[in-house]
Amino acid sequence: MKKIILSAIVMSFVLVSCNQKNKQEETVNASTNTPETVKVNPNSFSIKEIVTDYLSLKNALTKDDSNATADAGKAMVTTLGKIDMKKLSGAQMKTYMDIADDLKEHAEHIGDNAGNIAHQREHFVLMSKDINDLVATFGTDQKLYQDFCPMADEGKGAIWISEVKDIKNPYYGSEMLTCGSVRKEF
């Protein structure tokens, strides 16, 4: 009994100290990572959730999971509907809406096509371009990579955005998982 209590105390101590460490790292990152393009109050407008949905979608495609891909598409549509644009300037809002309108359509199509992964991948080409432009305009506080697959989109080549440096191809999934290269880092 004593051992359990002791180990519980040790565990909680470890967990608490780990959390403290993470918090310190986060504040350091936030101050060094502010991109010049962003003059936006980060507390009210953020593309973070959109990017998170995109990454789930991308990861589902790498696993050839059409249903999970569709779910992520639907989640993105919901997220896009909840974004607060009030703090953006006129020009920023125009840019954002231009991208978001297109992104929403692609997300809708992807959401409606569970079972048709080829069609989902077609829309993923332009969705990735939209996400790329969003990140380029509004910045990111997580490390992101722009990857390129030369054979995607009927040989025209296509990009995707990834949170990991390892190449996991969403256009070909298990068929050619490691095909592609990192082209840019955000």
Tell me if 142 sits within 8 A of 163, measured CB to CB: yes
Q: Which range touches other proteins (CB under 8 A), out of 13-21, 31-39, 94-102, 159-167?
A: 94-102
Q: Are 179 and 151 in contact (CB under 8 A)?
A: yes
Rg (CA), the chain: 19
Determine which residue in the list 47, 88, 99, 167 makes contact with other proteins, applying CB under 8 A.
Answer: 99
**By the rule CB under 8 A, 98 interacts with other proteins:** yes
Cβ pair 145, 184 in contact under 8 A: yes
- CA–CA dist 141, 3 (Å, integer): 42
Stretch that binds other proteins, among 10-18, 31-39, 123-131, 134-142 (CB under 8 A): 123-131
Question: How far lies 10's CA from each of 18, 21, 49, in Å?
Answer: 12, 17, 35
Q: How far is CA 85 from CA 42, 82, 100, 166, in A?
A: 11, 9, 11, 34
Q: Which of 105, 112, 141, 163 binds other proteins (CB under 8 A)?
A: 105
| Size of the residue set binding other proteins (CB under 8 A) | 11
Query: Can you tell me which of 83, 126, 151, 176 binds other proteins, judged by CB under 8 A?
Result: 126
By CB under 8 A, name the one of 49, 64, 65, 102 that touches other proteins: 102
Q: Which is nearer to other proteins, 8 or 85 (CB)?
A: 85
Which residue blocks in 33-167 are alpha helix, DSSP H?
48-62, 66-82, 90-112, 117-138
User: Judged by CB under 8 A, does residue 171 bind other proteins?
Assistant: no
Using CB under 8 A as the binding rule, whether residue 156 contacts other proteins is answered as yes
The rounded Cα 132 to chain-centroid distance in angstroms is 10
Provide, rounded to whole angstroms, the least separation between the CB of residue 14 and other proteins: 49
Which 17-36 positions form the footprint of other proteins (CB under 8 A)? none
Binding site for other proteins (CB under 8 A): 98-99, 101-102, 105-106, 122, 125-126, 130, 156
